[in-house]
Structures are given as structure tokens and as C-alpha cells.
Amino acid sequence: VDANGDKKTYVELQTSPANVHFDAAFVGRRKNMDKSYNAEYQTAIAIDGTLNDPSDVDKGWVAEWRIPFKQIRGVESAPKPGDKWMVNFFRLDKVRKGGRVVENQASAWSSPLSGDFHNIARFAELNF
């Protein structure tokens, strides 16, 4: 999330199918990672399959997010109609067979075109 659209400062928020969170703030593409940034956000996970069981084929999972606006660094209040933020959304998966990673899968709302999901120049516009 690059809320001010400067293509320099942004935050990364992650969740996993096990509902594990990771967050960090950056000043520049992959620069000055601040792991002390601690956004308080909530996620709820629904899995259609069995987590970490390679003996079956999972159908998928869904994550629902609740992110208070003030938890995003640099945001003081809720956006107003017409405000625009630069954001991207990603799905990353390591397909395993026999305990080994056999394939990496990724998809994005706005393709980074570089194999790097930190390509903030390729974030898409989120219009409120």
C-alpha cells in the first residue's frame, strides 16, 4: 500500500492460510525495511481443503481482511471519495510434493512485470 502515491514509501501486509501475519514498512523499493512497523489488522481465513496435508488436493482458500486506515503508515484518517492510493495484491504459493517445492505460483492484481512484487512503479490505482 502506497497511500500517498509517491512510489517511495509503502507498507507490506501479509497473511497465510495458517493466518500468520507479516508486516513491514519501506522507504524505496526494497529499501530500508522497517520490521518494527506493526500494523494491527485482522484476517479471517476459510480453507477448502486441509492445511499442510500433501496427501489430498486442496481447492483453495479465502482471506478476509480488516485494516483500520490509521494502521497504514502515513494515513491519518479514512480516505474521502475521489482519493486514490497505489496498491497491489498478490497470491504466492509453493507447490510441494514429497516434502519438496516443485513449483512456485504467483498472481497479482497488477502484474509487476519484473518477478518482484516490490515493483511499486507497477502498483495499480485504488479509487475511493
Closest CA to 73 of 8, 124, 11: 11
**Residue located via cell numbers 514509501:** 9
Give CA–CA dist 47/49, Å, rounded.
Answer: 6
The answer to whether residues 43 and 21 touch, using CB atoms and an 8 Å cutoff, is: yes
pLDDT digits (tens, 9 = 90+) for 81-117: 999 999 999 988 888 787 788 988 888 999 998 878 8
User: Residue 80 has what pLDDT?
Assistant: 96
For 40-65, what is each residue's pLDDT tens digit?
Answer: 999 999 999 998 887 888 888 899 99
